[in-house]
Amino acid sequence: MNEYKKLTNEVGAPVADNENSITAGPRGPVVIQDVWLMEKMAHFNREVIPERRMHAKGWGAYGKLTVTHDISRFTKAKVLQPGAKTDLFIRFSTVAGERGAADCERDIRGVAVKFYTDEGNWDLVGNNTPTFFIRDVQNFSDLNRAVKRDPRTGRRSAQNNWDYWTLLPESFHQRTIVMSDRGIPASFRNMHFFGEHTFSFYNEKNERFWCKFHFKTQQGIKNLTNEEAAKINGMDREYHGKDLYDAIERGDFPKWTMYVQIMTEEQAKKHYENPFDITKIWRHGEYPLIEVGVLEINRNPENFFAEVEQAAFTPAHVVPGIGFSPDRFLQGRLFSYGDAQRYRLGVNHNQIPVNRAKVQVNEYHRDGAMRVDGNYGSTPAYTPNSYGVWTAQPEVMEPPLDIEGAMYRYDPKDDPTDDCFRAGGNLWRILEEDKKQVLIENTVADMAPVTKNIKYRHAVHCYLADPEYGERFTKAAGLDMEKVKELSKLDHNGLVRATLSSEM
């Protein structure tokens, strides 16, 4: 053990003095010859890596997925076969705040899971809501600019946030969820999470099914009010991180029950709205939850930077039996994450232990900054080759997918089946009275700094979702109900034109 107590430099040579720099004379300047000092300062200057562009503030832990039910009729993925137990790493995050932001802000929460399966890593990168604000990847950077800092003031701006949200009617359902009591969870342990997108499964017979992933907390849903959250944020900005860490340390391992919803290809063709639109949900009454297993978290990381900050998840990482869907939002994500991580962590980030697959990795990628394995030694670096090295495995090929229509920039709002307010209205109608009141109060408080024209846009959306929702928001926000009714007769473009001026 004694050996470990000896301080060394970065290549193992002993360091003589870690307190007193070498100076020319007892009161003289420091000399460059103090190479230990140079190394120490130079390393420190490079210790900050870029934070994640979104979801910068987060906490992670290890756990396992145990499959308790049989869904092999839908998927051949080994990780989802009955009895399978798979190690995982999970990271929870807020979305808008930077790395130093407070945990208990009103926001959606990201939940990213990396399953270290026997067929390679499967990453499910979801949120604590079953839907999302927007549905085209083109909108994604704009959404983040609207919810992040204003370019002039450097401050977060409710005006920018609500201006953007209300110009995209498809964000209505998600707006309602974020403003509801669920907008500030009491802890990560007390919330559900979802894959959100439609993904696909294919079974041993190569039959495809569309699916959605749901994880329901076994700890029960608990949320914070604005007042409780404000108090906590003032005292402990790392409140959710501490809660998770402490629960694991005391052996109170949080658990979620995993479910899937399944839609056949035939059902999808006849579905009353686009089943691949992330702003829509599949109603449980029509597509019931099918139980899969239990996800448990049971071990804290040893080092935050190495394991949590350097964790890299991407929806592009799937395993045989699990696939994507035509969801245009998901398609955009398939590129974005790996690209961001090549910048944030480097091209070889999948060699970092928390990201490394537990199975043998045989790829032809070579070289690149920070290559820390043997770079495959003398193994041929090209394919095809005549040496029988690493051939593709056609047996894991997904079934072909029929695509319809001409290539074009289609606006989903032009789809006659598109209804941006149905799901938000349905949610309003099932809320208990006290939850309705909280939703209205939270929305009014959040929109307090916002100009009236934007409040009218939101009021119209509430009214279109459910007249009671519209009337109660309108009254609480001090708006004119007759005006809301008039504006609600306009189409989307008409409403936008009528509410452009803050003078209205």
Binding site for ligand HEM (CB under 6 A): 52-55, 58, 91, 93, 110-112, 125-127, 132, 137, 140, 196, 311-313, 329, 332-333, 336-337, 340-341, 344
Which residues, 6 or more positions from 436, have their beta carbon under 8 angstroms from its beta carbon? 428, 469, 472
* Packed helices 172-179 and 452-465: angle between N→C axes, nearest 10 degrees: 100
- Which is closer to ligand HEM, CB of 274 or CB of 341? 341
- Within 10 angstroms of residue 179's Cβ, the number of other Cβ atoms is 22
Which residues, 6 or more positions from 25, have their beta carbon under 8 angstroms from its beta carbon? none
Q: Cα 332 from chain centroid?
A: 14
Burial of 222 (0-12, 13-18, 19+ CB in 10 A): middle
Cβ 312 to ligand HEM shortest distance, Å:
5
- Within 10 angstroms of residue 54's Cβ, the number of other Cβ atoms is 18
Smallest CA-to-CA distance from 106 within 228, 246, 243 is with 228
Burial readout 310-323 (b: 16 or more C-beta within 10 A, e: otherwise): bbbbbbbbbbbbbb
Per DSSP, helices labelled H in 168-316 are: 172-179, 226-235, 239-249, 265-270
Cβ 147 to ligand HEM shortest distance, Å:
13
Q: Specify the length of the chain in residues.
A: 504
- Which is closer to ligand HEM, CB of 259 or CB of 329? 329
Cβ 107 to ligand HEM shortest distance, Å:
12
- Can you tell me the distance from the alpha carbon of 394 to that of 398, in angstroms, rounded to the nearest whole number? 9
- Which is closer to ligand HEM, CB of 215 or CB of 337? 337
Burial readout 424-455 (b: 16 or more C-beta within 10 A, e: otherwise): bbebbeebeeebbebbbebbbebbeebbbbbb
Cβ 111 to ligand HEM shortest distance, Å:
6
Cβ 263 to ligand HEM shortest distance, Å:
18
**2, 18, 55, 190: which one is catalytic?**
55
- Which is closer to ligand HEM, CB of 348 or CB of 499? 348
Cβ 152 to ligand HEM shortest distance, Å:
25
- The answer to whether the beta carbons of residues 195 and 213 sit under 8 Å apart is yes
3-state percent breakdown (helix, strand, coil) of the chain, nearest 5: 35, 15, 50
Cβ 92 to ligand HEM shortest distance, Å:
7
Q: Is 55 assigned a catalytic role?
A: yes
- Which is closer to ligand HEM, CB of 53 or CB of 365? 53
Q: Is 192 assigned a catalytic role?
A: no
- Can you tell me the distance from the alpha carbon of 248 to that of 430, in angstroms, rounded to the nearest whole number? 34
- Can you tell me the distance from the alpha carbon of 15 to that of 196, in angstroms, rounded to the nearest whole number? 53
- Can you tell me the distance from the alpha carbon of 41 to that of 34, in angstroms, rounded to the nearest whole number? 11
- Which is closer to ligand HEM, CB of 96 or CB of 495? 96
How many angstroms separate the first and last alpha carbons of the chain? 74
**9, 43, 127, 144: which one is catalytic?**
127
Residue nearest to ligand HEM (CB): 110
Residue linked to tokens 């007390």: 190
- Which is closer to ligand HEM, CB of 127 or CB of 200? 127
Cβ 330 to ligand HEM shortest distance, Å:
8
Bridge-based pairing state of the strands 322-323 and 290-299: unpaired
- Which is closer to ligand HEM, CB of 122 or CB of 463? 122
Task: List active site positions.
Answer: 55, 127
